[in-house]
Amino acid sequence: MIPVERQCCIREVGLARNGQPRWWCNAHGGNASGRGGARLDVCQPAGTDEDLVGCLDLDPAEYPGGIGIWAALEPVLNTTGRSAQSGIHVHARKSATAKKEIDGTFPAVRVRCSPDLFGPRNVLIRRAAALGYYFGRLLGHRLKYLTCPRCGEGHLDSDEFALRPHRRHLCHACGRHFHDSEDAISNPIVLARKQLEGIDANGSPEMATETLDVRLSDYPGGVQIWASNPAILWTGRRSEQEGIHVHLFPGKRGGPEPDETFSLVRLDGVSIDIEMVRYLMAQQALPHLVGKIDALVCSKCGQPHLDRHTKALMPHSEHECEHCGATFRPPGRRRLSVSNPLISAFGRLLGPQSPAPDQRKP
């Protein structure tokens, strides 16, 4: 039985920079400081155990046909009216040619490892770690596994801290800072993959070979689009596919046809750029980018601008055009933003009456 509620365990962990007391909850690994250094009765992330409700227990030995585990992010385009779950997405087959026994998204996944001298081991994969792993792979950062030297707990850099390597880390278990010897991003999945290396067959994903060119009017049930992302764990004999993953629904009911990954996608004559899809999927998953994703054009040459690498995920006021090299600022009142031309492409595709994908309220 998995406990879903724990009482807060709040204690003082030193002083903030303004000299006021800092309070930290050891039970949930979160801030418990109120205004003026007051001690809160309940810490801010008191619901951290909620993702263990509905956790999938997965034994790879039961699925010799292969399993795949990915971070599940929201689609960059969803015209179906159907909600798309975020969390950990899992595929599992009894044999390589059989249908998937498991094809779903879960708040967390516990993977059973082969027993060692200490008995059976389990690896728990949570959504926050899976997202951080996705961001690190997207940006090409080297990830490592750090433990707090004060309390020994494993450390996860999440949200904005998963985007830039750094030396000073805040432990979520004891609330104290510690330093690493190098700029780094810490993620427990690095340790999880090491523990699973005996069954993980994941090499470099291969680009999909199929292309897709359709009219949306032929699919009144709508469309969903994601970027593929490297699996956290892959045990299948076939290589993992890379590209743009598309669900097309012929009707309001029933499953998607197709449900495949493509190298090239055209919808109503609009080409969907795979690099832009990768960045937009990550941008829409970051709380600090809500309402800050624009489709900017260079004020000098008029070409659409795509922010890349860390600049794609951190809002900024000055943008360097990749076409002419000019530096320009966004027009209007919004000064800090990231640019992705796919916002404009979806606007053309959906028409003036449909909101662009980033019209989310802060």
Which range of residues forms the domain containing residue 107? Answer: 52-195
Peptide linkage before 258 cis (omega within 30 of 0): yes
Q: Locate tokens 């993953």: which residue? A: 245
In a domain, 190, yes or no: yes
Could you please report the per-residue DSSP string of 25-78? ETTTTEE-B-GGGPBPSS-TTTTGGGGGTTPEEE-GGG-TTEEEEEEE---SEE
Residue 130 sits in the same domain as residue 21? no
Q: What is the DSSP letter of 218?
A: G
Residue 294 sits in the same domain as residue 357? yes
Residue 297 sits in the same domain as residue 169? no
> Which tokens in the block code for residue 61?
């030995």
In a domain, 173, yes or no: yes
In a domain, 275, yes or no: no
Residue 57 sits in the same domain as residue 37? no
Contact 113, 196 (CB under 8 A): yes
Q: What are phi and psi of 173, to 5 degrees?
A: -85, -45
In a domain, 143, yes or no: yes
In a domain, 333, yes or no: yes
User: What single letter denotes the amino acid at residue 207?
Assistant: M
In a domain, 217, yes or no: no
Say how many C-beta atoms besides its own lie within 10 A of residue 211's C-beta: 12
Q: What are phi and psi of 148, to 5 degrees?
A: -70, 125
SS3 state of residue 258: coil
User: Domain tally for the chain?
Assistant: 3
> Which tokens in the block code for residue 6?
């724990």
Residue 119 sits in the same domain as residue 67? yes
Query: CA-CA distance, 362 to 358, in Å (whole number)?
Result: 11
Per-residue pLDDT of the chain (362 residues; tens, 9 = 90+): 233 456 788 888 877 777 788 887 777 666 777 777 788 887 766 655 555 678 899 988 899 888 889 999 999 999 998 887 788 999 999 988 888 899 999 989 988 876 554 445 678 888 889 999 999 989 999 899 999 998 888 898 988 889 999 999 988 778 888 999 999 999 988 888 887 766 665 567 889 999 999 999 999 999 999 998 888 888 877 888 899 999 999 988 888 888 899 999 999 999 999 999 999 999 999 988 998 999 999 999 999 999 999 999 999 999 999 999 999 998 877 689 999 999 999 988 887 544 455 544 44
Residue 152 sits in the same domain as residue 76? yes
> What is the pTM for the complete model shown?
0.79
CA nearest 27: which of 55, 48, 50, 13?
48
Q: Regarding beta strands 87-93 and 100-106, do their DSSP bridges make them parallel or antiparallel, or are they unpaired? A: antiparallel
Domain boundary among the residues 141, 174, 195 is at 195
Residue 39 sits in the same domain as residue 117? no
Residue 35 sits in the same domain as residue 57? no
In a domain, 323, yes or no: yes
Contact 56, 90 (CB under 8 A): yes
Residue 338 sits in the same domain as residue 324? yes
Query: CA-CA distance, 49 to 27, in Å (whole number)?
Result: 10
In a domain, 248, yes or no: no
